[in-house]
C-alpha cells in the first residue's frame, strides 16, 4: 500500500520533470537569463563578504576561507530550494490563493502539500549550485583543511537538514496567505527573515542565538553544515539537529493541513 503510494508520487514527480524540461526548451532565453540572474545574486553575497574581509581578518571567529566555504554551503542549499520548491511552487502560492486557483488541485486524490509546495522543479536553478560547490572547494583548498570522509557525510546530512528546515519555514510563512489579505508581500517577508542565515553563527549570541537555532533555525541552513564539513560536530549536536528537523517536518504537515481549511475558492 505504502509502496504503491510512493510509486504514484514518483510517477507524478517524473511528469513534473518532463513539464519542466519542456518549459526550459520553450523559454531558452528566459532560462539562460534566469541562470545568469541566479549567479548574479550569488555574486552579491560573495562580493559583500569580499569587501568586509578587505577590512578585517576575522568576523565572529570565522576567517576568510571559512566564510567562502560557508557562502558555498548557503548557495548550494539556497539553489536546491529554488530549484525544488520555491520558483514554481512556493513563490506562486500566495497569488494562486488570491485568485482562487487551488480548486482543481484540491479535488485531486493527491496530497495538496506535495502538489502546491513541491511541484515541478525549476531545473535551471540546479546550474546555480555550481557556484556554491566551487566556493566550497576553493575555501576548503585555500584554507588548508584536511579531508575527512566522516565530516563529509556529516556535512551532507546537515545540509539536507538545512534544506528541509528551509523548505518548512517557507511553507509556514507562505501559508499565511490563506488567512492574510496582504498576500504578495508575504514571500518578500519570508525572504527577508531567511536572509539572517547569511551571517556566520558567531554573530548571534544570547537570546538571539537561541531564537535562530531553535525557533527560526536559520543557523542550520549555513553555519552548522559548514562547521560539520570542516570540523565535524559533537554527537549531542547531531542528535539535536536531526530531532529539530523532524519536529519541523511534522509541525509543517499539521500546520499546512490546518491553514488550508481557510482557503476560500474564488469561483461562483
Partner 1 sequence: MDSIAYKGETFTFILNWFIHMGATLVLWTAVYTSGGEVEGYSLQELIAYYVLVLFVAMITEVYVADDIPNEIKNGEISAWFIRPIGIKMLYLMDAIGNKLVMLLIQMPIFLMGFIIAWLVIFEGEMLPLASVGGLLASGLIAVLAFLLAYLMDMIISACAFWIDKTWSLVHFKNFGILLLGGVSFPLDFATGSFRTFLEILPYKFFYYVPVSYLNGRRDIAEYLLEDMLLLLVWMIIFYLSMTLIWRAGVKKYGAFGG
Choose one: 53-61, 105-113, 233-241, 244-252; the region binding partner 1 (CB under 8 A): 53-61
Place of cell 537569463: 33
Spatial distance between the Cα atoms of 199 and 68, rounded to a whole number of angstroms: 12
> Residues with Cβ < 8 Å from 92, sequence gap 6 or more?
none
> From the list 8, 18, 30, 210, which residue makes contact with partner 1 (rule: CB under 8 A)?
30
Choose one: 51-59, 104-112, 141-149, 227-235; the region binding partner 1 (CB under 8 A): 51-59
Q: Cα dist. 26→22, 31, 33, 98, 127 in Å?
A: 6, 9, 14, 28, 18
Note the residue count of the chain. 268
Min CB(148)–partner 1 separation in Å: 28
Task: Name residues contacting partner 1, limited to 180-219 (CB under 8 A).
Answer: 180-182, 184-186, 188-189, 192-193, 195-196, 198-200, 202-204, 208
Spatial distance between the Cα atoms of 8 and 182, rounded to a whole number of angstroms: 36
Spatial distance between the Cα atoms of 158 and 224, rounded to a whole number of angstroms: 7
Choose one: 24-32, 136-144, 161-169, 231-239; the region binding partner 1 (CB under 8 A): 24-32
Q: Which is nearer to partner 1, 184 or 257 (CB)?
A: 184
Spatial distance between the Cα atoms of 51 and 19, rounded to a whole number of angstroms: 41
Task: Say whether residue 60 binds partner 1 (CB under 8 A).
Answer: yes
The DSSP call for residue 109 is S
Q: Which is nearer to partner 1, 17 or 43 (CB)?
A: 43
Of 128, 131, 49, residue with least CA distance to 87: 128
Min CB(35)–partner 1 separation in Å: 9
Task: Say whether residue 14 binds partner 1 (CB under 8 A).
Answer: no
Task: Say whether residue 267 binds partner 1 (CB under 8 A).
Answer: no
Choose one: 47-55, 111-119, 153-161, 166-174; the region binding partner 1 (CB under 8 A): 47-55
Residue 59, number of CB atoms within 10 A of its CB: 18
Spatial distance between the Cα atoms of 191 and 225, rounded to a whole number of angstroms: 20
Cβ pair 83, 132 in contact under 8 A? no
- Summarize as ranges the residues that interact with partner 1 (CB under 8 A): 27, 29-30, 33-34, 36-37, 40-41, 43-44, 47-48, 51-52, 54-56, 59-60, 180-182, 184-186, 188-189, 192-193, 195-196, 198-200, 202-204, 208
Amino acid at each position: 500500500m505504502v509502496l504503491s503510494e510512493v510509486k504514484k508520487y514518483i510517477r507524478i514527480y517524473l511528469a513534473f520533470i518532463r513539464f519542466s524540461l519542456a518549459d526550459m526548451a520553450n523559454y531558452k532565453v528566459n532560462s539562460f537569463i534566469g541562470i545568469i540572474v541566479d549567479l548574479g545574486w550569488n555574486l552579491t553575497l560573495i562580493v559583500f563578504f569580499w569587501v568586509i574581509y578587505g577590512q578585517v581578518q576575522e568576523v565572529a571567529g570565522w576567517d576568510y576561507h571559512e566564510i567562502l566555504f560557508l557562502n558555498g554551503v548557503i548557495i548550494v542549499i539556497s539553489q536546491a530550494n529554488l530549484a525544488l520548491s520555491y520558483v514554481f511552487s512556493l513563490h506562486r502560492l500566495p497569488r494562486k490563493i488570491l485568485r482562487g486557483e487551488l480548486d482543481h488541485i484540491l479535488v485531486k486524490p493527491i496530497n495538496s502539500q506535495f502538489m502546491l509546495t513541491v511541484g515541478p522543479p525549476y531545473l535551471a536553478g540546479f546550474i546555480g549550485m555550481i557556484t556554491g560547490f566551487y566556493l566550497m572547494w576553493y575555501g576548503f583548498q585555500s584554507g588548508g583543511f584536511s579531508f575527512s570522509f566522516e565530516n563529509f557525510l556529516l556535512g551532507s546530512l546537515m545540509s539536507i537538514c538545512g534544506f528541509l528546515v528551509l523548505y518548512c519555514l517557507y511553507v509556514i510563512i507562505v501559508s499565511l496567505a490563506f488567512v492574510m489579505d496582504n498576500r504578495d508581500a508575504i514571500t518578500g517577508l519570508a525572504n527577508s527573515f531567511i536572509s539572517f542565515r547569511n551571517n556566520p553563527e558567531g554573530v548571534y549570541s544570547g537570546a538571539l542565538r537561541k531564537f535562530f537555532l531553535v525557533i527560526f533555525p536559520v543557523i542550520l541552513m549555513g553555519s552548522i553544515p559548514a562547521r560539520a564539513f570542516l570540523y565535524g560536530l559533537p554527537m549531542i549536536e547531531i542528535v539535536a539537529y536531526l530531532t529539530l528537523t523532524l519536529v519541523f517536518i511534522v509541525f509543517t504537515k499539521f500546520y499546512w493541513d490546518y491553514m488550508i481549511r481557510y482557503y476560500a475558492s474564488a469561483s461562483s
